[in-house]
Amino acid sequence: MTDSTRKNMEKSLEVFEKFLKAEATQKMYLRHFNAFLKWHRESSDLSLNADDLLQYDEKRLQTIVEDYILYLRKRLSPNSLPSNIAALEHFFTMNDKELQFKRIRKMVPPPNKKAGDRAWSTEDLQKMLRNSCSNRDRTFIHFLASTGCRIGTLADMKLRHLRSMPERCRAVLFYEGTNEEYWGFLTPEACGAIDEYLEERRRDGEVIDTESTLFRSDYQVGAQKVKPMTIASAKMIALRLAHSIHRNKMGRRYDVMSAHGFRKRFNTILKSNDKANPSLVEKLMGHRGVFALDGCYLKPTIEILFSEFRKHIIQLTIDDSQRDKITIQNLEQEKSEVEKIRLEIEEMKKKRIEDNNYGPVTRYVAFTKNLFDSMAKDDLKGKIFSIIFYLFFEMRAPEEQKRLILKRLEQAKENGEEFDPSWFGESAGLSWKNFNSKTPVA
């Protein structure tokens, strides 16, 4: 509402508007109230404004509102009546008129089956992309399909709200700085569409930076002053795209809502996945959560949310070839991970075998055996030699060289070669640092 309109507004309507936070709700409630006021003027043949209406006593106002609801029952769907009643209740409550709205609501017939319950299918979006003639429209489709966001968020979206993520994805920050702030994500396919759209704008002469709007209004020359795409324009684009797809008409509406059909597709895909975490899915929808305290206590990081989003990338992807490409990449990655695990297991086996054959414990066992053999034979020289040789060997070289010397000794024995003392000479000098801390001490 403009400043000039506010100056001419009656006091009752100022109070009416003041306590409605959302602009969309303000517009809807004001439209419903003005329709009510217009009906009363025509039916009573009186030229009244909102302030004049409040001069009536509550009993008379109760009768007028009930007559109006009976009038609407003949003209509107039962599904539309609650919002009309809510607007009137808000106006009279905020202006200290206590009407019996519990009685008024009982006048509303049972709701009809709602139109627009169906979500856009992937095939529908493929047709939309084929019917789209601009990069902006294609980016529009991919953005809504990938994030499941409300269409009203597009008008305020800037490039600084996008953040790079692994696997050629991006994160999107919605409702920055508000209590409704949350993270959504873009598939690689959607990121590619955005890049093409931005590159087209650069070629047309627009200077792109982090403060640039993601979706701009139509332009003739890219260098002209950039205007963000309005919510009304976004709704018109969604409506135009919807008209290119066959929809079943249900009364005055269709079985798929032009804009909200994207959000329903997103919600359906995520919640149909057996591996989905319901609470995190709700967070990706911008909802508070599944359970009562999720809004206060469940605060997942962007990494945790992306980990949830990754489960659904293939299903959210629109183009079949892109989906196949991601599937192949995932299979190759899984194959690579399996191969990595196999190599790690082989390396562990190899290390275990080497430890068993040449490790500190094996060397100590051999030393202990020789020592006990000498003791059993009452061979003092053999006992002393075993101890000196063990200490000499363990202090002579680092662990890796000790194992190499043992391998050489074993190979020489197999080949019938004579022992060469120079093999020890190639190792480092005596040092307690070489005495492996894992080596047992007699």
> pLDDT digits over 341-386, tens only?
888 888 888 888 877 777 777 777 777 887 788 888 887 877 787 7
* Predicted local confidence at residue 432, as pLDDT: 62
Q: Enter the tokens of residue 108.
A: 């509303």
Radius of gyration of the chain (CA): 38
Residues 310 and 195 occupy one common structural domain: yes
Residues 294 and 208 occupy one common structural domain: yes
User: In the chain, how many domains are there?
Assistant: 3
User: Distance of alpha carbon 21 from its chain centroid, rounded?
Assistant: 27
The SS3 call for residue 216 is strand
Structural domain span for residue 296: 122-318
The pLDDT-based confidence of 1 (bands split at 50, 70, 90) is: very low
Residue range 326-347: mean pLDDT, rounded: 80
* 190 is a domain residue: yes
* Predicted local confidence at residue 431, as pLDDT: 64
* Predicted local confidence at residue 6, as pLDDT: 43
The pLDDT-based confidence of 422 (bands split at 50, 70, 90) is: low
* 342 is a domain residue: no
Q: What is the mean pLDDT of the chain?
A: 85
Tens of pLDDT, residues 203-221: 999 999 999 999 999 888 7
Residues 260 and 160 occupy one common structural domain: yes
Residues 45 and 155 occupy one common structural domain: no
* Predicted local confidence at residue 433, as pLDDT: 63
Q: Which amino acid is at 6?
A: R
Residues 91 and 130 occupy one common structural domain: no
Q: Residue 223 to residues 57, 67, 137, 140, 237: CA-CA distances in angstroms?
A: 60, 57, 20, 22, 23
Tens of pLDDT, residues 135-157: 999 999 999 999 999 999 999 99
Tens of pLDDT, residues 165-187: 999 999 999 999 988 899 999 99
Q: 302-311, 342-351, 422-431: which has the highest mean pLDDT?
A: 302-311
pTM of the complete model: 0.64
* Predicted local confidence at residue 389, as pLDDT: 72
Domain termination residue (choose one: 265, 293, 318): 318
CATH of the domain at 38: 1.10.150
